[in-house]
Amino acid sequence: DAGVIQSPRHEVTEMGQEVTLRCKPISGHNSLFWYRQTMMRGLELLIYFNNNVPIDDSGMPEDRFSAKMPNASFSTLKIQPSEPRDSAVYFCASTPGRRTEAFFGQGTRLTVV
Amino acid sequence: AQSVTQLDSQVPVFEEAPVELRCNYSSSVSVYLFWYVQYPNQGLQLLLKYLSGSTLVKGINGFEAEFNKSQTSFHLRKPSVHISDTAEYFCAVSDRGGGSEKLVFGKGTKLTVNP
């Protein structure tokens, strides 16, 4: 398997623009997580899905952030409108179940100028 | 709610020296515990995990960790480090029971191995 695939790897956008980050989990994994990594706050869980259903979105910073998982092989994280403080590395991870580790993608480095 | 504290944000060591990276967790339920490593500009990779059984867990690259329930700790150790071990290390916890399966991370420890 190719692992968790995220796109794009790098994104530079202007403040106010819409940004969409994409994730393809490992086939057969039923849980998917979106994390944000910054120097100040470390790794924060934004939202996680189980069987395509959002289970916990308490980490989503505000209404500007939204996430969807329309099917088992694809998820998106959207920021609209983007702000400079959204600049971070965003990771997607998937897992086949509770007793196993999460497998991480390479991340998307987002810069909002 | 669960939380993880990594007591050292940075640990510098010399090559071939032993190292211990400390991790303490807080949880009202039984947990699974994990250590991940992150090399520059990469995602996180699993080093080792504790699910049940023996409290001493061995992982990749010669790392091991010991689960201590009474001290709620899961410290990571390696008897002799290499330059290539320079990376950031993250401790993580998840709920063992029927609750949320989300993985909560500590803030990380940057290990720098000097020649």
Distance from CA of B85 to the nearest CA of A (A): 19
Residue B9 in this model has a pLDDT that exceeds 80: yes
Q: Which residue matches tokens 């998917």?
A: A32
Contact A16, A82 (CB under 8 A): yes
Q: Sort out which chain B residues have CB atoms less than 8 A from A45's CB and list them.
A: 102-105
Question: How confident is the model over B49-53, as a mean pLDDT?
Answer: 89
Of B9, B35, B46, B103, which to mutate for an interface test with A (greatest number of A Cβ within 10 Å)?
Answer: B103
Residues 6+ apart with CB under 8 A from A13: A19, A82, A110, A111, A112, A113
Please give the sequence-ordered ranges of beta strands (E in DSSP) within chain B, or none if there are none.
3-5, 10-14, 19-21, 24-26, 31-38, 44-50, 56-58, 64-68, 73-78, 87-95, 103-105, 109-114
pLDDT tens-digit readout, B52-107: 888 999 999 999 999 999 999 999 999 999 999 999 999 999 887 666 678 889 99
Distance from CA of B83 to the nearest CA of A (A): 23
Question: How confident is the model over A24-49, as a mean pLDDT?
Answer: 93
